[in-house]
Structure 1
Amino acid sequence: MRLNSLTAGELPENVARYSYDRDDQSIGIVHFGIGAFHRAHMAWYTDLAMSAGERDWLISGVSMRSRSVADQLTPQDGLYTLTERSGDSASTRLIGSVAEVLFAPEQAEEVMSRIADQACKIVSFTVTEKGYARGEGDQLDLELAQASFYPLLARGLELRKQAGLPGITLLCCDNLADNGHVLEALMRQWLEAEKPDLVDWFADHCRVPSTMIDRIVPRTGKEDLTYLENVLGMEDAGAVFTERFSQWVIEDNFAGPRPTWEDHGAQIVDDVAPYETAKLRMLNGAHSLLAYCGLRAGHEFVHEAVADPQLRALADHLMREEAMATIIPSAGQDLSAYADELLTRFADPALRHRLSQIAMDGTQKIPQRWLDTASALMAQERPASAIAAGFDAWLWHLEDSRFVDDPHGPELATLAREGGSGAVIERCFGQSRGATALWPHYSHLAGYLSANLSPA
């Protein structure tokens, strides 16, 4: 038996569940990239808000490249369970906020119609760093953008303008520094190139707040699904597993109505930057450090890497001695306590967060996770030994190539094998074989990192 609207009533009583009538609600949010993280984060917050009595915030999820989520959730009428784990305990909730999953390559018209619908107030995104199609110099790569969300979103906005409807809020939920301003700038570039008549309307009627999101969501494994089937008494192909901790900080900059997510733990603030910077440089920076150094040391999961005394000390040093020295906290933001909390979360074996999952897309993640910190430390004439050790492990990661999953992976792995670390550093920071540097804004760091490379 499989989870769906008809079988949900047979779930065990200890499974919490939403309390609203899904058939009596409208779709208020269109979300691009409806993977596990969205279902464990924004969809969960929205489910709680609707269960508290708010109306018309159902989510239309959009998959851009794979049918997998649609295949998981469509037969289940959008229903799935979220299981929070900590130590030996676990609790499961049935989530009802996802109304549908559309596969954009086959259902483009439906996606654009959802965005153009009067009920839609928010379009949100978890498409990973590479999904924004940023090219050299942080400019939009128009060719890559053709395969991303930009054409669908622009057409949906155009239909709204033609119908005389209000603008909408674009809500980026990805790990990009200053993500709201980044998305706004990239969207403007697309409109200037493809739909110039929309540029002023977009500026006047739409808003793009910045956000900071934090919840560890490991990739669901077969053993997780087997465990859950025993708990539920039925199959849930769309199940998500996560930690109990969750944080969502959102800039108070909306074009229209929104759910009162703050009643369920989100923070609505004037300035997201201090929270975002701490998360990127401390949590994400330490995660990438543990991923590359941990894989080289033969570990598979985060909790194994952080149980390694040498790697734990390295991650602690990165957070407290390097990242914290570059962050100006907001009032009441305790960075030392945050570091303590992160190490505790990393050490939880219940999450089984694979290092190879964190190591993906390193060329997209390293700038905001490590290089911004290194740049600030260099300006302060302070060392960045932990970041240098992590960078050294990333170079090993490319040379080894077993775990490399990166947009530039094949090219960099070949460079690493044929030319060693020097060739990779030249490609990333300088000019190599006629190609433009991957990280031109950080060219000043090439010698700084190279001089300090040392194994973890």
Structure 2
Amino acid sequence: MTPLQSLSDLPTAVATPRYDRDAAGVGIVHVGLGAFMRAHLAVYTDDALVAEGGDWRITAIGLRSRDAIDVLNKQNGLYTLLVRDAETSGRVIGSIADAIHAPSDPAAVLAALAAPGTRIVSITITEKGYGIDPATGGLDDTVPAIAADLASDLSAPQSAVGLIVAGLERRRAHGVGPFTALSCDNLPENGRILKRLVLDFARRRDGDLADWIEANACFPSTMVDRITPPQTEKTRTDARALTGADDLAAIETEPFSQWVIEDDFRAGRPAWEKGGAVMVKDVHAYERMKLVMLNGTHSMLAYAGHVAGHRFVRDTMADPDLKRLIDRHMQTAAATLDAVPGIDLDQYRQALLVRFANPAIDHPTYQIAMDGTQKLPTRIFDATLAAMTRGADFGSFAFATAAWMAYVKGAIGGAYAIRDPREAELLSAASSAQLADGLLDALLALPGLVPTELRAHETFRQTVLSRLRVMLGNGMGAAIAKEAAAL
């Protein structure tokens, strides 16, 4: 069977981009060519091009593996998006113009960043890709890619922050205005974080450059949401059945998609609102809602679910006791929030429960469980402190913390990889602790992870410890049942 390479070869029933791809120039460079970007930003951009046109196609940059780069280039940037629900629907996305593997062709990457037509540089690199010092919130110059870029002439940047600084440096030197840097990762105030890191990096390199960036560049924050599981053989099989072509870049996702964007762009933007994006002045309330209600609940169910033997999120929803804990966590998280403009939090909770139970989405708990030290501070620990401030119950957050600790302990002996940038520290702490209280103290003591106020809060410590003892002594299933029975 021939590969997916041309829209003209597709069956007439297949939904395809309704615009002239060749006539639309590139206006966005995107760093981080993963499945989420292709199910989210690229789709909104595809819809914007259909609605209003413009030179807004995307050059995608890969910082690590070149597999997706090579596949997309062979397919002329085309790929199938499958939307899984009771029935599966699909369409072919055309907003990606080309893709570049940064380690193989750094000159092409820098040329794309410096091109006058590039008006937005967006990124999806996950929390750990930013190089944030967990203790200070600033740039962590011990991260290998950051350290290498700081010591180099930036002719071949290795980090996303280094790429952005290198691009802005070249634009300034050539008299070209700055692009807008757009973070699309699950970080609170992601735009402000990105700006802080970029300015920190630039200031260590050239104070005048940092001043120019601060005065001229924009870093809007965003809230992104769409569950996107890994590609499987079934993904490719279903894409082949739909298109009649082999599509190695095919991805699958859920029907729900949300994008809230601070409308602050240096040189224009696509008409993303035509695809359903919400343009706002301040995204903080929306991102906080998602972090604690969706992402925080995801973390809790991932650790508890994985240790209990539940492979997918949908399996955790089929466990009556764990489903009750999932619902409780969302309600507890909602109680820590202020009002969110245009959002009914109870309706949002109900929608999340439906999404989690979607039987057609293979979203692995093990995938969600990765990078816990990057995720828990914003998803769980900040929410715990907010609950304490409001005098609300924090038992669900304590359960989530204990479940993470049990997950770390369960990895001893190589049962599974923790897949965390601090994995060696976690395993060392867990290996040296024989009892639940020793494990608790060892993990709470890791620098730059748990806020000092929580570490010193004896009631929080005892609440976590009581749950951790059951998890380690009687198993996660027993801990889930006991927790649910107390509701």
- The farther-off stretch of 311-320 and 48-57 is 48-57
Distance 1:442 1:184, change over 3 A: farther
Correspondent of 1:407 among 418, 421, 444: 421
Query: Counterparts of 1:40-51 in structure 2 under 5 Å?
Result: 40-51=39-50
- Shift of residue 445 of structure 1? 6.0
- Shift of residue 163 of structure 1? 1.7
What is the SS of the residue equivalent to 2:341?
coil
Say how many residue pairs are matched.
449
- Shift of residue 417 of structure 1? 2.4
Paired position in structure 2 for 1:111: 109
Mark the runs of 5 or more structure 1 residues left unpaired by the alignment: none
Correspondent of 2:181 among 165, 170, 177: 170
Correspondent of 1:215 among 215, 222, 226: 226
Q: Within the alignment, does 1:354 sit opposite 2:352 as a pair?
A: no
Do the aligned partners of 1:33 and 1:127 also contact (CA within 8 Å) in 2? yes
- Shift of residue 450 of structure 1? 2.5
- Shift of residue 151 of structure 1? 2.1
Correspondent of 1:430 among 417, 433, 445: 445
Do the aligned partners of 1:428 and 1:440 also contact (CA within 8 Å) in 2? no
Task: State the percentage of identical aligned residues.
Answer: 40
Distance 1:238 1:447, change over 3 A: farther
Do the aligned partners of 1:429 and 1:437 also contact (CA within 8 Å) in 2? no
Paired position in structure 2 for 1:397: 407
Do the aligned partners of 2:405 and 2:443 also contact (CA within 8 Å) in 1? no
Distance 1:109 1:423, change over 3 A: farther
Paired position in structure 2 for 1:183: 194
- Quote the Cα distance in structure 1 between the aligned partners of 2:100 and 2:268: 24
- Quote the Cα distance in structure 1 between the aligned partners of 2:238 and 2:278: 34
- Quote the Cα distance in structure 1 between the aligned partners of 2:24 and 2:442: 52
Do the aligned partners of 2:164 and 2:198 also contact (CA within 8 Å) in 1? no
Paired position in structure 2 for 1:306: 317
- Quote the Cα distance in structure 2 between the aligned partners of 1:438 and 1:2: 50
Q: Within the alignment, does 1:229 sit opposite 2:248 as a pair?
A: no
Do the aligned partners of 1:209 and 1:252 also contact (CA within 8 Å) in 2? yes
Do the aligned partners of 1:3 and 1:236 also contact (CA within 8 Å) in 2? yes
- The farther-off stretch of 336-345 and 140-149 is 140-149
Aligned letter for 2:445?
A: G
- Shift of residue 71 of structure 1? 2.4
- Shift of residue 91 of structure 1? 1.2
Structure 1, residues 80-122: CA drift from partner, whole Å, max 9, x if none? 11111112x1111111111111111111111111111010000
Do the aligned partners of 2:61 and 2:101 also contact (CA within 8 Å) in 1? yes
Paired position in structure 1 for 2:88: 90
Distance 1:301 1:277, change over 3 A: same
- Quote the Cα distance in structure 2 between the aligned partners of 1:422 and 1:75: 54
Structure 1, residues 34-86: CA drift from partner, whole Å, max 9, x if none? 10000000000001111223111110111111112112211111111111111
- Shift of residue 260 of structure 1? 1.0
Q: Within the alignment, does 1:388 sit opposite 2:392 as a pair?
A: no
Query: Counterparts of 1:127-142 in structure 2 under 5 Å?
Result: 127-135=125-133, 136-142=135-141
Structure 1, residues 122-143: CA drift from partner, whole Å, max 9, x if none? 0001000000001122121124
What is the SS of the residue equivalent to 1:81?
strand
Q: Within the alignment, does 1:254 sit opposite 2:265 as a pair?
A: yes
Do the aligned partners of 1:250 and 1:272 also contact (CA within 8 Å) in 2? yes
Aligned letter for 2:80?
A: T
TM-score normalised to structure 1 length: 0.94
Do the aligned partners of 1:78 and 1:96 also contact (CA within 8 Å) in 2? yes
- Quote the Cα distance in structure 1 between the aligned partners of 2:254 and 2:441: 39
- Quote the Cα distance in structure 1 between the aligned partners of 2:433 and 2:62: 38
- Shift of residue 442 of structure 1? 5.4
Aligned letter for 2:276?
A: G
Distance 1:28 1:298, change over 3 A: same
Do the aligned partners of 2:314 and 2:363 also contact (CA within 8 Å) in 1? yes
What is the SS of the residue equivalent to 2:52?
coil
Aligned letter for 1:138?
A: G
- Quote the Cα distance in structure 1 between the aligned partners of 2:207 and 2:439: 39
TM-score normalised to structure 2 length: 0.89
- Quote the Cα distance in structure 2 between the aligned partners of 1:262 and 1:197: 36
Distance 1:68 1:293, change over 3 A: same
- Quote the Cα distance in structure 2 between the aligned partners of 1:172 and 1:130: 13
- Quote the Cα distance in structure 1 between the aligned partners of 2:377 and 2:91: 36
Structure 1, residues 210-233: CA drift from partner, whole Å, max 9, x if none? 100111101111222123223322
- Shift of residue 148 of structure 1? 1.3
- Aligned alpha-carbon RMSD (Å): 1.7
Paired position in structure 1 for 2:97: 99
- Shift of residue 200 of structure 1? 1.3
Distance 1:129 1:422, change over 3 A: farther
- Shift of residue 419 of structure 1? 1.4
Do the aligned partners of 1:412 and 1:424 also contact (CA within 8 Å) in 2? no
Distance 1:448 1:409, change over 3 A: farther
Aligned letter for 2:25?
A: S
Do the aligned partners of 2:49 and 2:56 also contact (CA within 8 Å) in 1? yes
Paired position in structure 2 for 1:57: 56
- Shift of residue 27 of structure 1? 1.1
Q: Within the alignment, does 1:365 sit opposite 2:375 as a pair?
A: yes
- Shift of residue 296 of structure 1? 1.5
- Quote the Cα distance in structure 2 between the aligned partners of 1:448 and 1:110: 55
What is the SS of the residue equivalent to 1:139?
coil
